[in-house]
Structure 1
Amino acid sequence: MRRPLAVLGLLVVLLAACRSSGRAEPAPAPEPLRPAWQPASLPLPSGLSGRLALRDAAACAGRWFVVGAVVDAAGVTRPAAWSSADAASWTPLRAVPRSPYGEENVLTAAGCRDGRLAAVGGKSGGVHGNPRISTWRQGADGSLVEVPAEFEVFGGADAVNAGRIAGGSRGWLISGNRATGAAAWVSPDGADFRLVSAVPGLATDAGGRPWAADGTATASGWLMVGSVQGSGRTGSAAVVWTSADGSAWRRAVLPGGDADQDLQRVVRAGDRTVAVGRRGDGLGAWLGEGDAWRPGGGLGGAGTDRPGRVWGLAARGDGAWAVVAGSAAGAGWFSTDGTRWSPVALPVAVPAASDRTVAVAAAGEVALLLVDDGAGARVWSARGPWRPA
């Protein structure tokens, strides 16, 4: 009987050795973070009545902003914006339209620089019902004043979309797209935006048709993110654009093999740039340090209503957090380094439909969440370190 026992002992040793020398066991899933979300109330601007239609949020230099519109019972819209010093108590800003379309603008994108707001708004009109785009900037008295633009600056035969707006030391950047490819609008002060399109790097070329989704300021200028769809293929590749002055742009395709990828949101988080978008069937991050980019961690995506939809990305003092379409338990994600992402419990499920709106903002240890599901708009804030329950 000793020989069978000896053989059995040897098998146990060999199995243990194989297990120890094999691939490491996967790391346990991180514990969900549960911020103490507090609802915030946004008062109606003076002289307006109706429901709030909220579209975007921004924060910088100790100020918080939310933009959108007020929709009356007849469906008429009026531009609206709010400001706060703590993301809890809000004050309406006085909107000063300068054009007939501006009087009915819905403010769709917000940017912040030196504690002041700039926004992009629009209203469909004219013979063809095309969006009439205006920019808005905050004056010295705190009011938000429309800056009307010639129709061809944002519209015209090549118009596709004017998307998100970002502020930085060099002024303002609006990222978007034209029939010629990706586009940028730049301004040193928010008073006059200059369209940059159909130039090398932004224009459709032999490398494919590009799409710009978001932009941010960097220490050396501007950065936009998006995708490029190559000729003769159905998928897309993730790309970044960099520019020192907003006029000349350099496009770089990020490594990703044959997986269908794009970048939908970007933010500066400390010394690195964090971008988030689709990666195959899920969602993932890319990390930029200087001109070098590498894949970051995955954000899950399984079980969400639309795994490829990223609604928002913002930088807290201790990391970056993203909101994607999904349940209250599966739509929020946070990472201190862009590599390991932890789920963040949200106060409400996040819709996936394109006619709904979700936005995030953050500064220091405070985060802001905005959700407009078409029936009503709500805002929450959470402060302090995020820890598992």
Structure 2
Amino acid sequence: MQYLTGFGAHVVILARMRRLTLAVLLVLTGCSSGTGDTVGFTAVGLTATPEALATHNDTLVIGTRPADHPELVTRAQDGTLSNARLIPATPYGKEAHWYGITSDGTTITGVGGERGGAHGNVRWSAWTGDTRQITEKPQAFSTFGGYGAGELIGVVRTQQGPLIIGTWQSAKAGLDIAVWTYAADTWSRQPSAGTVLESSQELLRFPLAVTPNDDGALVVGWQIAKGTVSAAVWQFDGKTWTTATLPDGDAALAARCWDGTCHVVGRSKGKLAWWSGPEWKKHTTPDIPVGDDQNLAAPVPVNGTPTLFIDHNGVKLVSEKDERQADGPTGEVKAAEVAGGQVFVIAGDRLWRLT
């Protein structure tokens, strides 16, 4: 055996210590590079605050708002950003925030709103166009406002055309879920009486979000009957509306449908809840608190896995089985979308792309 003394022995000992330290670090990190389960994101360089997302074929549509007016930005699959020409028709349209955007691949439809007037109610604006130009189509004040008006929660495309979903004063009690259809530049509210959208003294309904579902739409929210609160969904198949109560849920907050399944996320006893339909099975998910006033973004497929982005001690990617940390996004998650095979998230008033 060879023995080293003096300076040579010191060098050998230090080298062995370094190798031992490296080996220990590799074991502790699972032989990874240190990223662990962290998922990387890249910020998209917008010049204004993003408020809403939609997919127009392979193009991402981004409703943004600088200090005092709306803009519509598109991002092509190669990352090119462009601004659609925006043509407002009313004073409140010039100042609107984006409440929702949808597209059928040909036409883009948007809903905007800005508070104003003596009572500070939202003054709504409806927009129609494409990636080159989108125009506000002025409506009569009584279309979305006036006595009996509620709120608008979003816009959705269907095989029969776009629908705006909101609420309106019920003839029986509280507010009905209300549906507006579009034809000849005019939005018309359809009667809710006699349908599952109608509220009554025995059952009050509260819609919170809407998403496309095959040829129709899926509305999610909550209801209260005889003092019992439950999460609920309302489905439109292109002709009629049906409803279902979600098991062990307090409120359904967001939803997205793809490949024949609708993924609904919400709240159950102060915790995250996840259901899938049409069977409306409740899944087991990581233990994540969801507050009474907290909003959730709709889930999206990430590498084939239904995934929710949520701010839980930092932005996390949550599936039925696990929870991973997002590297980059911080703050409240407001929207998620998939366009051109790429995943985008609005978090902390910035737009991020999953890398």
Category of TM-score, reference length = shorter chain? 0.7 to 0.9
What does 1:139-178 align with in structure 2 at a 5 Å threshold?
139=130, 142-178=132-168
| 1:35 to 1:191, Cα distance in 2 relative to 1, 3 A | farther
Separation (CA, whole Å) in 2 of partners of 1:105 and 1:237: 33
Partner of 1:133: 124
Q: Are positions 1:347 and 2:328 aligned together?
A: yes
Q: Residues 87 and 368 of structure 1 are in contact (CA less than 8 Å); yes or no, is this contact kept in structure 2?
A: no
Q: Residues 274 and 288 of structure 1 are in contact (CA less than 8 Å); yes or no, is this contact kept in structure 2?
A: yes
Q: Residues 59 and 339 of structure 2 are in contact (CA less than 8 Å); yes or no, is this contact kept in structure 1?
A: no
Q: Residues 163 and 213 of structure 1 are in contact (CA less than 8 Å); yes or no, is this contact kept in structure 2?
A: yes
Partner of 2:312: 326
Q: Residues 263 and 299 of structure 2 are in contact (CA less than 8 Å); yes or no, is this contact kept in structure 1?
A: no
Separation (CA, whole Å) in 1 of partners of 2:55 and 2:37: 22
Partner of 1:315: 300
Q: Residues 153 and 210 of structure 2 are in contact (CA less than 8 Å); yes or no, is this contact kept in structure 1?
A: no
Separation (CA, whole Å) in 1 of partners of 2:318 and 2:334: 17
Separation (CA, whole Å) in 1 of partners of 2:142 and 2:322: 43
Query: What stretches of structure 1 of length at least 5 have no aligned partner?
Result: 1-30, 44-51, 72-76, 352-356, 384-389
Cα offset, 1:183, TM superposition: 2.3
| 1:83 to 1:194, Cα distance in 2 relative to 1, 3 A | same
Separation (CA, whole Å) in 1 of partners of 2:147 and 2:235: 27
Q: Are positions 1:65 and 2:37 aligned together?
A: no
Q: Residues 242 and 249 of structure 1 are in contact (CA less than 8 Å); yes or no, is this contact kept in structure 2?
A: yes
Q: Residues 168 and 178 of structure 2 are in contact (CA less than 8 Å); yes or no, is this contact kept in structure 1?
A: no
Separation (CA, whole Å) in 2 of partners of 1:315 and 1:238: 21
Cα offset, 1:378, TM superposition: 1.6
Asked which structure has the greater CA Rg, the reply is 2
Q: For the aligned residues, what is the CA RMSD?
A: 2.7
Q: Are positions 1:185 and 2:189 aligned together?
A: no
Partner of 1:215: 210
Separation (CA, whole Å) in 1 of partners of 2:185 and 2:36: 44
| 1:91 to 1:314, Cα distance in 2 relative to 1, 3 A | farther
Separation (CA, whole Å) in 2 of partners of 1:169 and 1:205: 30
Q: Are positions 1:382 and 2:354 aligned together?
A: yes
One-letter code aligned to 1:133 = W
- List per-residue Cα deviations over 1:8-38 (Å, max 9, x = no partner): xxxxxxxxxxxxxxxxxxxxxxx97533211
| 1:327 to 1:122, Cα distance in 2 relative to 1, 3 A | same
One-letter code aligned to 1:359 = A
| 1:324 to 1:173, Cα distance in 2 relative to 1, 3 A | farther
One-letter code aligned to 2:335 = A
The one of 225, 235, 246 equivalent to 1:254 is 246
Q: Residues 310 and 318 of structure 2 are in contact (CA less than 8 Å); yes or no, is this contact kept in structure 1?
A: no
Cα offset, 1:115, TM superposition: 5.4
Q: Are positions 1:119 and 2:105 aligned together?
A: no
Separation (CA, whole Å) in 2 of partners of 1:192 and 1:344: 45
| 1:93 to 1:176, Cα distance in 2 relative to 1, 3 A | same
Secondary structure at the residue paired with 2:94?
A: helix
| 1:319 to 1:117, Cα distance in 2 relative to 1, 3 A | farther
Q: Residues 110 and 128 of structure 2 are in contact (CA less than 8 Å); yes or no, is this contact kept in structure 1?
A: yes
TM-score w.r.t. length of structure 2: 0.79
Report percent identity of matched pairs: 19
Separation (CA, whole Å) in 1 of partners of 2:37 and 2:166: 34
Q: Are positions 1:278 and 2:236 aligned together?
A: no
One-letter code aligned to 2:284 = G
Separation (CA, whole Å) in 2 of partners of 1:154 and 1:87: 38
Separation (CA, whole Å) in 2 of partners of 1:264 and 1:87: 32
Secondary structure at the residue paired with 1:81?
A: strand
Secondary structure at the residue paired with 2:119?
A: coil
Say how many residue pairs are matched: 315
TM-score w.r.t. length of structure 1: 0.73
Q: Are positions 1:37 and 2:41 aligned together?
A: yes
Secondary structure at the residue paired with 1:152?
A: helix
Q: Residues 133 and 149 of structure 1 are in contact (CA less than 8 Å); yes or no, is this contact kept in structure 2?
A: no
Cα offset, 1:83, TM superposition: 0.4
Q: Residues 88 and 94 of structure 2 are in contact (CA less than 8 Å); yes or no, is this contact kept in structure 1?
A: yes
- List per-residue Cα deviations over 1:220-278 (Å, max 9, x = no partner): 52221111012334xx20111122346x422222232xxx5111111013221110000
The one of 224, 229, 233 equivalent to 1:229 is 224
Cα offset, 1:197, TM superposition: 5.0
One-letter code aligned to 1:295 = K
Cα offset, 1:198, TM superposition: 3.8
- List per-residue Cα deviations over 1:98-135 (Å, max 9, x = no partner): 12221222222222221543211012223333211011
